[in-house]
Amino acid sequence: MTTMGTSVDYRLIDSTLRDGSHAISHQYDADEVIAIVRGLSSAGVQVIEIAHGDGLGGSSFNYGFSKVDEKELIAKACQEAGDSTIACLLIPGIGLADDLKDVQELGVGMARIATHCTEADISEQHIKTAKKLDMEAIGFLMMAHMNSPEGLVEQALLMQSYGADAIYIADSAGAMTTEDVRRRVNALVGALDIPLGVHAHNNLAMAVSNSIAAYEEGAANLDGTSAGLGAGAGNCPTEILAAVSTKYGIETGVDPLKLMDVAEEVVRPIMPRQQVIDRAGLILGYAGVYGSFLLHAQRAAERYNVSQAEILLELGRRQVVGGQEDMIIDVALELARKHAQEEK
């Protein structure tokens, strides 16, 4: 793979401005976006993803309202992108194919179309729209721990048949062991005609090692966020992934030291909390619960005076999937009622 004249072993996609948005409750402003895009671009990051944390059109009661309209922020990102490609993520059922047209006009070159790992067939309309708009289209299978390697191959082949240029599997709950990642990547790389990518979360402290393992099994794209900013205990930290890759002799085309500067000087100052693996974060990975539920569950726990850990465990039992944030209120109300009855 060649980027800007230098050969790289995998392509790095930074999602600080999309997945990272969960950790700051979608409160990015234009100045923060400009500073982050400038920093990432000058460090050589090939692709920078930006949108509401739940993708285009995600601003809502259910997922949290954006402080600034995402399309204003995307326009700013495109202006500052330099040699980097600006990407957006879209979850069919939340965002619309029409949103892709809007952002393509702003200069967005890549669309990642995300579905739950068993529902790839709802992405056809959106992958085809992205291709028609001459964007690179990536099929993005979320909560990949909930499907087998064979099941993921079946779903990925659907997305490939719609015209996707690459496929991603996302460990959205940060629930996979290295072995889980290897088996899935291995099966997918063998079955697909197009490149594979892996998006890792750090709830089990496996994000960087799982990403490296994915590379070893043939993944050609890897995701990170600056300082690990993101849902749950956070994402694979871009600067650590770059540093570890360098030590392995894996060529990334990015400058780890510059990425460390971005993480330290631009991103950490705006983080409301450091990305640590506390009890709630660990439970997400342990119970296999969608990472973005973390802060919503914390708010519901405070509002209804119930335990955040109990909410997350119950969501895991119910096999809730990404996007069902409304069920957090449902579970909190039920727990509150149960506790009230027990006290009587």
Partner 1 sequence: MPQRCAIIGSGNIGTDLMYKMLRSDELELVALVGIDPDSDGLARARKEGLEAPHSGPEWVLENSDDIDMIFDATSAYVHVRYYKQYADAGITAIDLTPAARGPKVIPPVNLYDHLEAPNINMVTCGGQATTPMVYAIRRAIDHLPYAEMVSTVSSKSAGPGTRQNIDEFTKTTSTALREIGGAEKSKAIIILNPAEPPILMRNTVFAGLPEGSDHGAVLDSVHEMVDEVAKYVPGYRLKNPPVVEEGPFNTPGGEVPHRAVVLLEVEGAGDYLPTYAGNLDIMTAAAMRVGEAVAQAKAEVPA
- Figure out which of the listed residues 93, 107, 163, 218 binds partner 1, where binding follows CB under 8 A: 93
Adjacent-strand bridge partners of 11: 221
With CB under 8 A as the contact rule, which of the stretches 3-11, 54-62, 163-171, 277-285 interacts with partner 1? Answer: 54-62
Residue 176 Cβ vs partner 1, minimum distance, rounded to whole Å:
18
Residue 324 Cβ vs partner 1, minimum distance, rounded to whole Å:
6
Residue 261 Cβ vs partner 1, minimum distance, rounded to whole Å:
32
- Figure out which of the listed residues 2, 61, 134, 269 binds partner 1, where binding follows CB under 8 A: 61
Distances (CA, A) of 130 to 137, 145, 220: 6, 27, 21
> Residue 121 interacts with partner 1 (CB under 8 A)?
yes
Q: Is the separation of the CB atoms in 168 and 120 below 8 Å?
A: no
> Residue 70 interacts with partner 1 (CB under 8 A)?
no
Residue 124 Cβ vs partner 1, minimum distance, rounded to whole Å:
6
> Residue 119 interacts with partner 1 (CB under 8 A)?
yes
**Alpha carbon distance 15, 278 (integer Å):** 22
- Figure out which of the listed residues 150, 264, 265, 326 binds partner 1, where binding follows CB under 8 A: 326
With CB under 8 A as the contact rule, which of the stretches 62-70, 71-79, 101-109, 289-297 interacts with partner 1? Answer: 62-70
Residue 57 Cβ vs partner 1, minimum distance, rounded to whole Å:
8
Q: Which is nearer to partner 1, 165 or 325 (CB)?
A: 325
116 in catalytic set: no
By C-alpha distance, which of 269, 37, 291, 247 is closest to 145? 291
Q: Is the separation of the CB atoms in 59 and 325 below 8 Å?
A: no
Within 293-312, which residues bind partner 1 (CB under 8 A)?
303
> Residue 280 interacts with partner 1 (CB under 8 A)?
no
Residue 92 Cβ vs partner 1, minimum distance, rounded to whole Å:
5
- The residue whose two tokens read 């449902």 is 330
- Figure out which of the listed residues 1, 157, 205, 327 binds partner 1, where binding follows CB under 8 A: 327
**Alpha carbon distance 26, 341 (integer Å):** 37
By C-alpha distance, which of 281, 256, 307, 199 is closest to 23? 281
With CB under 8 A as the contact rule, which of the stretches 102-110, 280-288, 306-314, 315-323 interacts with partner 1? Answer: 315-323
Residue 313 Cβ vs partner 1, minimum distance, rounded to whole Å:
16
Q: Is the separation of the CB atoms in 100 and 130 below 8 Å?
A: yes
Contacts of 43 (CB under 8 A, 6+ apart): 254, 255, 258, 259, 261, 262
> Residue 329 interacts with partner 1 (CB under 8 A)?
yes
Structure tokens at 292: 């973005």
Q: Which long-range contacts (CB under 8 A, 24 or more apart) does 311-314 make?
A: 311/335, 312/280, 312/283, 312/284, 312/287, 313/283, 313/287
Candidates 22, 26, 145, 199; catalytic one = 22
Q: Which is nearer to partner 1, 281 or 322 (CB)?
A: 322
> Residue 98 interacts with partner 1 (CB under 8 A)?
yes
- Figure out which of the listed residues 94, 113, 144, 196 binds partner 1, where binding follows CB under 8 A: 94
> Residue 163 interacts with partner 1 (CB under 8 A)?
no
Contacts of 132 (CB under 8 A, 6+ apart): none
- Opening angle at CA 325, ends 63 and 67, nearest 5: 10
Q: Is 199 exposed, middle or buried (0-12, 13-18, 19+ CB in 10 A)?
A: buried
- Figure out which of the listed residues 39, 92, 174, 237 binds partner 1, where binding follows CB under 8 A: 92
Binding site for partner 1 (CB under 8 A): 57, 59-62, 65, 67, 92-94, 96-98, 116, 118-119, 121-122, 124-125, 146, 303, 318-321, 323-327, 329-330, 333-334, 337
